[in-house]
Amino acid sequence: MNENKIYQTLFEEYSNGYKNGLYHKTQILFAYNSNHIEGSSLNQDQTRSIFETNSFIANREQIIKTNDILEAKNHFKAFDFILENTYKNIDIDFIKELHLILKKNCSDINIIGDFKKKQNFVGDIKTTPPQSVNAQMQKLLYSYNEIQNKAINELINFHFYFEKIHPFEDGNGRVGRLLMFKECLKENIIPFIIDEEHKLFYYRGLKEYENNQGYLIQTCLSCQDYYKELLDYFEIDLTQQTTKTKTIKRKHK
């Protein structure tokens, strides 16, 4: 396995409680953007304050939902969870545990840490019926885990089909994006964070994926460029990292 400087830096800073480094910045950017895409009212400064001091100041006339605060704190814990388990293969138990961490104590969801019991939707994409979720997830995970030396577009391919299944009542996008970040680290690929600037392109990419994979792939590569700038700022050696892509030969159906 090639030396993974990004993972080493993130894990060492996390383990040692190091402040103001790559781990610290990634936690804030990831939690803010992934939650904000899903409608969180917290801004980036408030997210930073929650991470750093476990408190924040609301703007005048700003209404903050309790769930927004919980989801920020839970996202920090979920990111630590993927760092602790980066080199484990993804399976159903892992995904359910990640969801449990992400949505713990939130009041906007009935089932936490288990698959949905009622039909849901994501944009115009038809999702998998509840009774078929477990079988479809098993099929997706089998086809994904048998791929050796995965390229970034194969991670993105997994992400699309995970979102199309939409296995949980809520939190699917955030779980899916955490899984992509984890798998980038595992496969020695430069990771990325889908940010507010790319939100509409990201949704378009998901909507159009089965007709044109390029929209979603290019959006993720653009976000990857943003993360490279962060790595350059912290002087992380990217010699052994990759943005590798290859033609997808297997597609989950």
Domain ranges of the chain: 5-234
Looking at 24, 36, 159, 166, which residue is catalytic? Answer: 166
The CATH number, out of the four listed (1.10.260.40, 1.10.10.10, 1.10.3290.10, 3.30.70.2740), of the domain defined by the range 5-234: 1.10.3290.10
pLDDT at 246 over 70: no
pLDDT at 7 over 70: yes
pLDDT at 77 over 50: yes
Provide the Cα torsion 148, 218, 133, 149; round to 10°.
Answer: 10
Looking up tokens 């917290």, which residue turns up?
42
Task: Give pTM, 2 decimals.
Answer: 0.93
Q: What is the pLDDT of residues 128-161, one digit of tens each?
A: 999 999 999 999 999 999 999 999 999 999 999 9
Q: Mean pLDDT of all residues in the chain?
A: 93
Name, in order, each residue with C-beta under 8 angstroms of 207's C-beta and a sequence gap of 6 or more: 123, 124, 125
CA separation (Å) from 121 to 66, 222, 231, 252? 24, 27, 36, 19
How long a stretch of residues is the chain? 253
Q: What is the pLDDT of residues 174-205, one digit of tens each?
A: 999 999 999 999 999 999 999 999 999 999 99
Whole-number Å distance between alpha carbons of 164 and 23? 30
pLDDT band at 92 (very low <50, low <70, confident <90, very high): very high
CA separation (Å) from 46 to 71, 77, 80? 13, 17, 20
pLDDT of 249: 45
Whole-number Å distance between alpha carbons of 100 and 112? 5
24 is catalytic: no
What's CA 118's distance to the chain center, in Å? 23
Whole-number Å distance between alpha carbons of 253 and 250? 9
